[in-house]
Structure 1
Amino acid sequence: MSSSSSLEKLASLVRELCKLPAETEWLEFKRNRVDHEQIGEYISALSNSAALCDRAHGYLVWGIDDATHEVVGTTFDSSAAKIGNEELENWLLRLLSPKINFSFSTVELDGLRVVVLEVGRAYRHPVQFMHNEFIRIGSLKKKLKEFPEKERELWRIFDETPFEAMIARKDVREEEVVTLLDYPAYFDLAGIPLPENRAQILERLAAESLIRRNGSGAWDISNLGAILFAKRLEDFGTLRRKAVRVIAYEGGNRISTLKEQVGARGYAAGFEGLIGYINALLPSNEVIGKAIRKDVPMYPDLAVRELVANALIHQDFALGGAGPMIEIFKDRMEVTNPGTPLINVERFLDTPPRSRNEGLASLMRRFGICEERGSGVDKVVSLTEAYQLPAPEFAIVSDHTRATLFAHKELAKMDKIERVRACYLHACLRYVQREYMTNATLRERFGITIQNSATASRLIKEAVDAGMLRPYDEAAPRKFMKYVPYWA
């Protein structure tokens, strides 16, 4: 979408808002009044009220008379506003919970300056500002706790409205639907012949809940349709920050960046291209066999695919301003997604996954983009063992989840934390396969010779002392001792 086209749409939006007979729960007009804390409270109130009114966005518009709705212009400039040395947007985002999507835009109407604050609707949790939740009662801003019936209704809406069913773009014409969505990619992934006419294409997309016809006879594109099959995520304002970022660094830190790319397409339509781009950036190992030199990937392709797919599927879309990120270093690859997991990171191998976005996960599995339920992390751990790599790490970093694959490292160069993690995940993998970890299986995992079985015994003792393993049978002879994860 061109900049001029964006401004035209913004001007058209403001004119439509001005036609409303009065301010609403999801709309507030201002002239010039600027109070930074008030703006934060309005973001909370408009976001929560938009959810109650089933609106995709709420709006605070400066430069409009709130009584007559005439364009009067404003001197407010969000880009110049600061609280101390901190920019207004960063300050607001820091004090909002969860960190929802909002944006300031400026447009000229009748030669007068108008500023529009667009606020995404609340999803899954009421939006707080400075630890308080707000709501709009008519055109008045109030604390949500003062209206328990509104709070109950809001939670009911959260329970009934998954992210995938919410609207990414409303009132789209038929010809726009096929322009905005990469519909051939859907039919290719679904293994269905491409229909001969537009009506059949739209019918099939609607059957998958990617689009739906609205009351005005036009089409609404759902979040599910946009996040999976958008030709350009930038065309969907609330989702543009959910594009995947891939960053390759020169060394083992973030000081020097070699390449950075932000994905443009929807997750399903662009997945193969994304994996191809990542693999092209990954380092490789040179292997010599029978006098033939060949390069092999540093990390198993299936492990990379699974971790990237998991990051897309299990992210928390309620966290604004952040999307999945893949970072490639000289010695590791980190895959990070917004949101903390719904299960303990230490139990990823044995606990069936729980997804916040079940519709998204279901389609991604159907398309073969990720593994069947419950087998993905098992395969990641199994493949890293087969490649003789250090064990992957699964961790919570702030309000994000991070999975890390490590480049090859000799056992002698691993620190205690790496050794214990490898022993623990090896025991978990054996346990979910209905087998047990032993000195022999650990030797095979690390490539330790039988003559050095004492080394494996020391590794096991480290993991037991760390509380990550326990003997399956305390009374068993040491030679026949078996081990299981601490929780087994």
Structure 2
Amino acid sequence: MIRSLSEMPALVRSLLADVETEVVEHKEAKRNFGFEKLGKYFSALSNEANLRNAECGWLLFGVTDKRKICGTSYRKEERRPSVGLRALKHEIAENLNNGLTFEEIYEFDIEGKRVVAFQIPPCEFASPTTWRGVPWSREDSSLKEMPRFKLEAIWGQSRPDWSKRASFEACLDDLDPEAVKFACERYVDKYAEKQPAIRSLSEEEML
């Protein structure tokens, strides 16, 4: 979900108040931040967001190790949003798999200090996000190549089988009449010999 800029200061404060999350990383990035490390953090936060069923991951620039707002000049320009920040979406996507990039990059002030917040989508279903072909993860406060058990947790994901779920609000009118007729005919063919009463049931009763 894309946020409005007016929402971001309160959101950042709430993110920084949660000291136990693996889907939020904050850096001072006072003037610059290495492109390679940025890509690795994208991969790590994307993968952690998937494993924790989070809506997204967050990388915050302009925040100290002690979670204090210090401000950042990363790709700062006279106008906002800066062209340099907007260009990052394309630059980062070239080295990620599955066509991923930042959901959004926010540039705003908190207490008169510039903050940049990167919103990172979870990795795709059963497919870890890789940076230059390597999947990364968070281990405590460090970046690590993704360990085997986390990779297997993502690779082993299975989609829910919607066909096994009861649709309690459905009625006969929601079904294709031809499909209903075909299913009932096959049901009669299979069971009528042992249960002759089936032949007297209506399609609705049979269903």
Same fold by TM-score greater than 0.5 = yes
Structure 1 distance, partners of 2:91, 2:121, is: 17
Structure 2 distance, partners of 1:130, 1:36, is: 12
Please list, as runs of the form range in 1=range in 2, the aligned pairs for 1:87-166 lying within 5 A after superposition: 87-102=87-102, 103-124=104-125, 125-144=127-146, 147-156=147-156, 158-160=157-159
Q: Structure 2: 5+ residue runs without aligned partners? A: 77-81, 180-207
Answering whether residue 11 of structure 2 is matched by residue 9 of structure 1, we say no
How far is 1:80 from its partner? 4.6
Please list, as runs of the form range in 1=range in 2, the aligned pairs for 1:256-295 lying within 5 A after superposition: none
Q: Look up the equivalent residue of 2:158 and give its one-letter code.
A: D
Deviations 1:354-378, CA, capped at 9 Å, x for gaps: xxxxxxxxxxxx699xxx9xxxxxx
Alpha carbons 2:106, 2:117 under 8 Å: kept: yes
Deviations 1:236-277, CA, capped at 9 Å, x for gaps: xxxxxxxxxxxxxxxxxxxxxxxxxxxxxxxxxxxxxxxxxx
How far is 1:151 from its partner? 1.1
- Residue number in structure 2 paired with 1:26: 23
Deviations 1:169-224, CA, capped at 9 Å, x for gaps: xxxxxxxxxxxxxxxxxxxxxxxxxxxxxxxxxxxxx978xxxxxxxxxxxxxxxx
Q: Look up the equivalent residue of 1:34 and give its one-letter code.
A: F
Deviations 1:366-394, CA, capped at 9 Å, x for gaps: 699xxx9xxxxxxxxxxxxxxxxxxxxxx
Please state whether the residue corresponding to 2:64 is helix, strand or coil.
coil
Q: Output the aligned Cα RMSD.
A: 3.0
Residues 53/207 of structure 1: CA separation in 2 closer, same or farther (3 Å cut): farther
Q: Look up the equivalent residue of 1:76 and give its one-letter code.
A: Y
Tell me the TM-score normalized by structure 1. 0.30
Residues 35/80 of structure 1: CA separation in 2 closer, same or farther (3 Å cut): farther
Structure 1 distance, partners of 2:6, 2:175, is: 38
Structure 1 distance, partners of 2:175, 2:115, is: 45
Please list every run of at least 4 consecutive aligned residues from structure 1 whose deviation after the TM superposition is greater than 3 angstroms. 78-82
How far is 1:20 from its partner? 1.7
Please state whether the residue corresponding to 2:67 is helix, strand or coil.
coil
Residues 72/207 of structure 1: CA separation in 2 closer, same or farther (3 Å cut): farther
Structure 1 distance, partners of 2:24, 2:115, is: 15
How far is 1:81 from its partner? 3.7
- Residue number in structure 1 paired with 2:182: none
Structure 1 distance, partners of 2:63, 2:175, is: 48
How far is 1:21 from its partner? 2.4
Residues 70/160 of structure 1: CA separation in 2 closer, same or farther (3 Å cut): same
How far is 1:26 from its partner? 1.0
- Residue number in structure 2 paired with 1:75: 73
Structure (1 or 2) with the greater strand fraction: 1
Give the fraction of aligned pairs with identical amino acids, expressed as a percent. 26
Q: Structure 1: 5+ residue runs without aligned partners? A: 165-205, 209-365, 373-488
Q: Look up the equivalent residue of 2:26 and give its one-letter code.
A: F
Deviations 1:101-150, CA, capped at 9 Å, x for gaps: 41211111111110000001112211111111111112211111xx1111
Please state whether the residue corresponding to 1:96 is helix, strand or coil.
coil
Q: Look up the equivalent residue of 1:89 and give its one-letter code.
A: K
Tell me the TM-score normalized by structure 2. 0.67
Structure 2 distance, partners of 1:53, 1:160, is: 16
Answering whether residue 38 of structure 2 is matched by residue 39 of structure 1, we say yes
Structure 2 distance, partners of 1:115, 1:70, is: 14
Larger RCO, structure (CA 8 Å, separation 6 or more): 2
Please state whether the residue corresponding to 2:60 is helix, strand or coil.
strand
Deviations 1:315-370, CA, capped at 9 Å, x for gaps: xxxxxxxxxxxxxxxxxxxxxxxxxxxxxxxxxxxxxxxxxxxxxxxxxxx699xx
How far is 1:53 from its partner? 1.1
